[in-house]
Amino acid sequence: MPISPENRKRYPPDWKEISLRIRKERAEDRCEGSPGHYPDCRAENGKPHPVTGSKVVLTVAHLDHTPENCSDENLRAMCQRCHLTYDAKQHGMNARKTRFKKVGQDDLFKEEPK
């Protein structure tokens, strides 16, 4: 997944190397699956996906959706199908925030002072 410009600074300077190591060395150019959805995917990078038929492009997902947390346990190589499915809830929340922001109601997502 492309990194949005507003989140770029949240990634470590060596993110490209970390991502490459996870995809190539640990996952051996295959999808490691999406927890709770497609745990045994194993689609191969650059080849047609066995289910969708689209060309597989491996990405690295943060399981906790926190770019600063780049521990190996928090990272997983995923094909588009697995990554989009895993992140669907997060994408939905982000879309909702964007829609509310456009109509001037983004204050609904601000935390109350304690």
Is 94 a member of any domain?
Answer: yes
Distance, CA of 37 to CA of 81 (rounded, Å): 10
Distance, CA of 23 to CA of 5 (rounded, Å): 23
Mean pLDDT for 96-112 is 66
The region, left, alpha or beta by phi > 0 then psi within -120 to 50, assigned to residue 65 is left
* pLDDT at residue 97, rounded to an integer: 73
* pLDDT at residue 113, rounded to an integer: 54
Tell me the pTM.
Answer: 0.76
Tens-place pLDDT, residues 3-50: 888 888 999 999 999 999 999 999 999 999 988 788 889 999 999 999
* pLDDT at residue 82, rounded to an integer: 94
**Number of structural domains the chain divides into:** 1
Structure tokens at 99: 């829609």
* pLDDT at residue 99, rounded to an integer: 77
Is 110 a member of any domain?
Answer: no
Is 111 a member of any domain?
Answer: no
Is 114 a member of any domain?
Answer: no
Q: pLDDT over 90 for what percent of the chain?
A: 60
Range of the domain at 24: 5-105
